[in-house]
Each structure stands twice: as C-alpha cells, then as structure tokens.
A and B are shown apart, each in its own frame.
Chain A
Amino acid sequence: MLRYAYLRILGAIPTLLLVIAIAFLMVHSAPGGPFDAARVLPPEIERNIERAYHLDDTLFEQFTSYLQGLWHGDLGPSYRYRDSTVSELIAGALPLSMKLGALAMLLAVVAGVSAGIIAALRKNTIIDRIVTGVSMVGISIPIFVIAPLMVLVFAVMLGWLPASWAGSGSSDRLLMPVIALALPQIAYIARLTRASMINIMSSDFVRTARAQGLCTMSIVRYHAIKPAMLPLLSYMGPAVAGILTGSVVVEEVFGIPGVGQFFIRGALNRDYTLVLGITVVYAALVIFLNLVVDLLYGYLDPRIRGR
C-alpha cells in the first residue's frame, strides 16, 4: 500500500507541473501585451511597467519565477483589479465557491446513490424506467439551460425563491444554485450506481446470501453496497471537474460572488494573471482530489495496487 501511495503521489506532481506549464505557455504566447489597450506611453515608462511586471525577462525566467511565487502562494498581481493580488482575489471568493461545490457534491451523492439503488432493486419496473429516463434527460440538458429555466419557473413565475444572490436570506438563496449544480451529477451517479448495483446483485456471493435466507434489505446493507460503490469512487474525479465547471455557470446565472465570477470577468477583460491563477488553483484541486480518490481506491480494493 505504501509503495502504491508513493507511486501515485509521485505521479501527480508531473501532471500538475505539465498543466501549469501548458496554461502558462498559452497565456504568454498570446499576441499583444496586457497593457496594449491603455493609451500610448513614452517608451521609458513602458519599459518600466514591463520591468515592474517582469515582462522583459525571458519566458523561462518568467516561468520559474511564477513557479517560485506559486510555491509561496503568490499568483502575481491582477492586471485589472489593480489594488489586489490574484491570491487575495481567489482567497476571498474561494470559501463561497467551495461551500457551493461541497453542498452540491453531497446532494449529488446522496440523491444519486439512493435513486440508483432503488432503480436497481426494482429493475424493469415503472420506477426503474422513471429513474433511467430522468437521468438520461439530466445528463443531456446542460447546466446553463437548467439553471436559467429554474430561475424562470421558481423565481420569476412562481416567486418561491429569490432570483439573485444579492438582497436575500442566506439559506434559501443557496437552494437553487446547489440543486442546479447537483442535477447533472445526480443523473450520472444514479446511472452508475444502478448499473453496478445490478451487476453486484446478480453475483455469486449475493446468491449465497439469499440462499441463507437473508432479506433484500440486509443483503444490500451488509454485502452489496460496498462493492457496488467502487465504480462510483472512480467517477468522483470527473465529478469534481464537472462541478467546478458547472459552478462557473451557476455563479454567473445566480450572481454569486465566487471564484467562477472572477473567472468570467477575468476572461472577458483579458486579465491574464487572474485567469491563469484560477486555472492553476482549480487544476491543482482536481489533481489533488483525484489523488485522494486513487489512494482510497487502492485502500479499498487491494487488487488495484499491483498495477
């Protein structure tokens, strides 16, 4: 197990470096500098600005100093929000985005797993059809269609929930964003759970348990649920990536002041350092969570360690 963990951790580092390098290169191979839009400056001043932002160094020097900064948690100055650094901006917005993401993830797992198990146990009944059908729809409809439609129905037409973040209570304003963010993941998780549960329920050890006279509920609880959850675990990595991407949309639609909003503002204003910083932070987060999932998987399923 230790060897496995060691190899996995070692493997995650080059992936992270590669992503940072790709993201960095993309931003720096952009035609035109970040200050081109400003009025024409005398050449001496322009050189000073470039020196202040280290734009006159070679690309490699810039990259290593960016990495050094990163090591100390410094993502550089924002080009548009002149008063704050990128790290400050992200640190200010991250807790809210994390809260949103964590709640959505929790909801997705609880609702998805329950729906999946019920569908699997009632295979080929009307309940199963409903779960499979709804999850197919849930997978197909993108979050930027679901979220605004929810606002239209529940906030604009029915007036049950607040349409926007500003000027409303704290708990009911989280409800719609969390549900919107969780819906596609609920659909995926329900499908995965259903498939793997059906697979497990037809395996030999479940048949043995049945022969011993155990009722379905205790078979599910004591025998089936653990092995059935394994495929789900490997979906957690993509699920996290999906939730992060989705949160950009949800924050935009509901006007939530999280990291996603900064990301969109940064992208539209060509705030290179901000967009780069958020990409790097999110990539690191996803890679880290994937590592955790990998380690958990290795812990739960010893067969995988040998590979």
Chain B
Amino acid sequence: MSAFSALRPVARYIRASRMVAICVLFLLLVALVALAGPLLSPNDYISTDFDNRFGAPTMQGMQFFGTDEFGRDLFSRTLLGIQVTLFVAVIASIVSLGIGVIYGATAGFIGGKVDAVMMRAVDALYALPFVFLVILLMVAFERNFLLIFVAIGAINWLDMARIVRGQTISLKHREFVDAARLIGVSTPGIIWRHITPNLFGVVVVYMTLTIPQAILVESFLSFLGLGVQEPQTSLGALVNSGITHMGRAPWLLIIPASVLAFILFCFNFLGDGLRDVVDPKNKT
C-alpha cells in the first residue's frame, strides 16, 4: 500500500462535480494570493492618507476595495489579511496534526485499557468550551503570534486523533506490521516507520477540515481584538473594524466578510465531500 493510494478516490471525487472543481480552483487562487500577499497590490497596506478616508471602491489608483478609516488601501490590507489568516491556519493545522497523529496512533496501536482511557479523555475534552481557554491563554501571555498557532493547534487535534486511531486499528493487523514485529522492531519504531506513513491519505483529507476550523478560531480571536495586532491584520480583524464603520462605509465590512465566508465555505464543502470518500461510515 503506497502512501498515495489513499488519495486515488480523492482525485476521482474532485473530477466528479463542477462545484468541487470551482472550490478547488478558488482555494488554489487563495493559496497563490496568500503566498504573494500585499505584493500583488501597487499600494502598500500601511501608509495612511487622511485626505482619502473611507474612499469608495474605485479603479483609480487601483484601490479596488476602497480605503479604510485611516485612508489605507483596503485591497492591500485584504491581501495581507488572507496571508496572515491562512498562515496561522496552516501552522495551527500542522501542530494539531502532529499531536493528533501521535496521540491517535499510540492509542490505536497499543489498544486495550490504554486506548480506552485515552479515548475517554478525548470524549471528555470534546465538549469543553475551548475557545474560552484559548482566550484565557491570550490574556495571560501577551498576544504573541506563536502562541496563537500553538493554542489553536492544541484545541483542534481531537478529530484528528479519533480518525487516526480508527485507521491505526485497521492497519495494525496487517502482515507488514506482523513482519516488522517478528524481526524485533520496537513499538515506537513500528508506529513511526510503518503506521504513520500509511495514515498520509486520511490525514491530508482531514487537513481540509482542520484548516477552516483554525481559520475560524483565529478570526474569532482577531475579531475580539485578541489576535493579530495593528498594523498587521487578518480577515477577522478586518471584519471587526468594518463593523465600526459599516454605516458610513459598508464595503469595509462586506468585502473582508465575504472573502472570509467564501474561503470557509470552500474548505468545508471540499472537506465534507472528501470525508465521505475516506470515511463512508461517517456520511451525513
């Protein structure tokens, strides 16, 4: 079983529907935008222009999205927001992936009582209002960027752990695992060398579901003013400042809000379909 064979039904799924193709294309575009960031705009995201506050979207000077309360170019700021939001989300997903894979693979592989206790703990953690704990963390430690990644990653690993555990259980009775054990490979060695590589397909699919969750938490924190700080920005922070001025300049709210909504919708739509492909039992 190669690491990529699990992705074959995924490729078939992507080719099957037009809506899926649109979402994939849109997300690829977003990824490109996120890589380039504010460089794509001729204006920078930081310089203020008090003669041009709340400028409406215009082609003039390439200010496609208008200007904000300080006369800063909203197009550049939205590009920056996409970049920051996606960056945080991807790093956070990698953190949650790390924790989830190790935890799930361990529980699934060892099995028995250890597994029961570990999964009971996951069940207990599921229902907690995690966002409150993250905010607490933000309050306790200065709002530093690194902490946002870690905090979001630390709350998002539960799903990953559950799925990985299920996969591990189905993998551990395969012949190659017995063979490895026969020649004396240790348990951590088997988990690392033989189980985790085979989890690749499932994990990639689940990333499409953890990334929107991470985006949601990040933009929630930024929305509350606890996330990314000025002059940096993220989509959540842009929505937040858009609310303050929505009576006067509705585009400050509508544009970042729709960008955020589209990104989340596409991730969720894709992730949902992909999950049904790799985990038909969970079909909704």
Instruction: Please list the residues of chain A having a beta carbon within 8 angstroms of any beta carbon in chain B.
Output: 11, 15, 19, 22-23, 26-27, 29-31, 136-137, 139-142, 144-145, 148-149, 151-152, 156, 191-192, 194-195, 237-238, 240-241, 244-245, 248-249, 252-253, 263-264, 266-268, 270, 272, 275-276, 278-279, 282-283, 286-287, 290
Contact = CB atoms under 8 A, between A and B. Distances in A.
A19 B135 contact: no
Interface centre among A11, A145, A244 (most CB of B within 10 A): A145
Contact of B260 (A22, A137, A145): A145
7 contacts: A11-B124, A27-B136, A140-B267, A140-B268, A144-B219, A148-B253, A264-B225
A114 to B, nearest CB: 18
Contacts of A152: 246, 250, 253-254
B224 A15 contact: no
Nearest to B264: A140
A132 to B, nearest CB: 10
Interface in B205-223: 212, 216, 219-220, 223
Contact of A142 (B140, B219, B224): B219
A141 B223 contact: no
A279 B132 contact: yes
Contacts of A149: 253-254, 257
A195 to B, nearest CB: 4
Smallest CB-CB A-B distances: 4 pairs: A30-B140, A140-B265, A237-B127, A195-B284
Given A144-B220, A191-B284, A267-B224, A272 B261 contact: no
B251 to A, nearest CB: 11
Contact of B137 (A19, A26, A191, A270): A26
A197 B146 CA distance: 44
Nearest to B265: A140
Contact of B223 (A137, A144, A282): A144
Contacts of A275: 135-136, 139
B221 to A, nearest CB: 10
Interface stretch (B48-56, B160-168, B235-243): B235-243
A258 to B, nearest CB: 14
Interface string B123-148: 01011111111011111111000000
Given A267-B139, A268-B225, A275-B136, A282 B265 contact: no
Interface of B: 120, 124, 126-133, 135-142, 212, 216, 219-220, 223-226, 236, 239-240, 242-243, 246-247, 250, 253-254, 257, 260-261, 264-265, 267-269, 272, 283-284
Given A141-B265, A263-B135, A31 B128 contact: no
A194 B284 CA distance: 8
A276 B260 contact: no
Given A148-B253, A268-B226, A156 B247 contact: yes
Contacts of B240: 144
B132 A283 contact: yes
A142 B220 contact: yes
A249 B220 contact: yes
Nearest to A268: B225
A287 B127 CA distance: 7
A245 B131 contact: yes
Contacts of A249: 220, 223-224
A48 B235 CA distance: 45
B127 A267 contact: no
Contacts of B269: 136, 140
A47 B224 CA distance: 34
Contacts of A31: 141-142
A136 B265 contact: yes
A168 B131 CA distance: 31
Given A142-B261, A145-B239, A238-B126, 11 more contacts: A23-B136, A27-B136, A30-B140, A136-B272, A140-B212, A141-B261, A141-B264, A141-B265, A145-B260, A272-B139, A286-B129
Nearest to B284: A195
Contacts of A244: 129, 132
Nearest to B135: A267
Contact of B133 (A26, A191, A253, A272): A26
